[in-house]
């Protein structure tokens, strides 16, 4: 009897150990968000006196958020592959995402663009703070809605969008924060380095981008989840696509990361417009 228990104990220990693996990736996600915030603070402190040094800090912060997206993608896939997904894991992952893709990008954008450009208590400064807060709140709401749909779909209010594993409802917060981080990585020098006039124009354009991302996160526009990618014969094409993307990021990270983030963010509205046009054209064609 004791021999049987001794034989089974290692298997139980191995199974319990598997639950730690997704948590480690989520912890790495949190660490990247934490480092991004610290780098943003350091960059802001020297933005006016030493723009080149500030650019290095801002670039580091953007790259940290980019790495966090990788960790965030891997932890979910590992949890599903090892069948170690738990409800507490879902909540922990969402809390990590609020920090890394909500607080960290808003801190980075403020330190890189809005803080150095606008004086405190001016219209531009107050508007920028409001829009960044809106981004953070919309991201938190997006995560709360996702958790509700993923863990307790029976409690959704009547008329809520059904959950489809192939799609996300609304823009996920990682690519939203990732696009902002990729923008900073593309031009890491503080906006004030381009002059007082241009920095104001760029800042207002950036506010428009942040506001648009906020609206997309709380919208019902569908985005592909990539969860079913790579199944069957598509596997070899997915491997080749990932390898090609990795090579582009390695050699041309400033361009590749910005293009990849922009493509993902824009494909949702593009599909929505195509479907809307299709619904309008079909009845017209049927009448003729």
DSSP state of 244: H
Q: With contact defined as beta carbons under 8 Å apart, do 119 and 58 qualify?
A: no
Q: 124-159, pLDDT tens digit by residue? A: 999 999 999 999 999 999 998 888 776 655 444 444
What token pair was written down for 38? 């610290």
84-88, 160-164, 217-221, 228-232: which has the minimum mean pLDDT? 160-164
Separation of alpha carbons 164 and 176, rounded Å: 21
Bridge partners for 223 per DSSP: 168
Q: 39-71, pLDDT tens digit by residue? A: 999 999 999 999 999 999 999 999 999 999 988
Confidence band for 92, pLDDT divided at 50, 70 and 90: confident
Q: According to the model, what pLDDT value does residue 149 have?
A: 72
Confidence band for 235, pLDDT divided at 50, 70 and 90: low
* Average pLDDT rounded to a whole number, residues 13-26: 70
Separation of alpha carbons 26 and 23, rounded Å: 5
What token pair was written down for 216? 């997309």
Separation of alpha carbons 42 and 35, rounded Å: 11
What average pLDDT does the chain have? Answer: 84
Q: Percent of the chain scored above 70 by pLDDT?
A: 78
Q: What phi, psi does 195 have (nearest 5°)?
A: 105, 160
Q: How far is CA 36 from CA 30, 57, 231, in A?
A: 10, 9, 35
What token pair was written down for 60? 């580091």
Separation of alpha carbons 223 and 226, rounded Å: 9
Q: 168-221, pLDDT tens digit by residue? A: 889 999 999 999 999 999 999 999 999 989 999 999 999 999 999 999 999 999
Examine the pLDDT at 24 and tell me if it is beyond 70: yes
Separation of alpha carbons 56 and 32, rounded Å: 16
* Average pLDDT rounded to a whole number, residues 19-38: 89
21-25, 76-80, 160-164, 243-247: which has the minimum mean pLDDT? 160-164
44-48, 95-99, 209-213, 246-250: which has the minimum mean pLDDT? 246-250
Q: With contact defined as beta carbons under 8 Å apart, do 80 and 59 qualify?
A: no
The helix (run of H) or strand (run of E) holding residue 235 is: helix 234-251
Q: With contact defined as beta carbons under 8 Å apart, do 267 and 224 qualify?
A: yes
């Amino acid at each position: 009897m004791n021999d049987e228990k001794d034989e089974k104990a290692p298997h139980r220990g191995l199974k319990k150990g598997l639950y730690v693996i997704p948590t480690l990736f989520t912890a790495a996600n949190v660490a990247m968000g934490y480092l991004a915030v610290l780098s943003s603070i350091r960059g802001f402190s020297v933005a006016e006196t030493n723009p080149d040094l500030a650019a290095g800090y801002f670039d580091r912060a953007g790259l940290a958020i980019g790495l966090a997206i990788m960790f965030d993608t891997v932890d979910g896939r590992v949890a599903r592959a090892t069948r170690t997904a738990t409800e507490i894991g879902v909540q922990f992952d969402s809390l990590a995402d609020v920090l890394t893709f909500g607080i960290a990008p808003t801190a980075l954008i403020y330190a890189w663009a809005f803080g150095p450009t606008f004086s405190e208590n001016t219209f531009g400064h107050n508007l920028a703070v409001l829009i960044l807060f809106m981004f953070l709140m919309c991201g938190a709401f997006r995560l709360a809605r996702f958790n509700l749909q993923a863990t307790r779909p029976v409690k959704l209010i009547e008329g809520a969008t059904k959950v489809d594993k192939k799609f996300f409802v609304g823009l996920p917060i990682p690519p939203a924060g990732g696009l902002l981080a990729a923008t900073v990585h593309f031009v890491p020098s503080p906006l004030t380095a381009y002059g007082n006039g241009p920095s104001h124009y760029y800042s207002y354009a950036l506010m428009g981008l942040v506001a648009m991302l906020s609206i997309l996160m709380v919208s019902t526009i569908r985005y592909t989840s990539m969860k079913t990618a790579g199944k069957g014969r598509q596997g070899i094409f997915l491997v080749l696509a990932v390898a090609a993307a990795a090579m582009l990021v390695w050699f041309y990270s400033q361009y590749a990361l910005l293009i990849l983030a922009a493509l993902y963010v824009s494909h949702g509205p593009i599909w929505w417009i195509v479907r809307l046009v299709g619904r309008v054209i079909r009845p017209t064609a049927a009448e003729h």
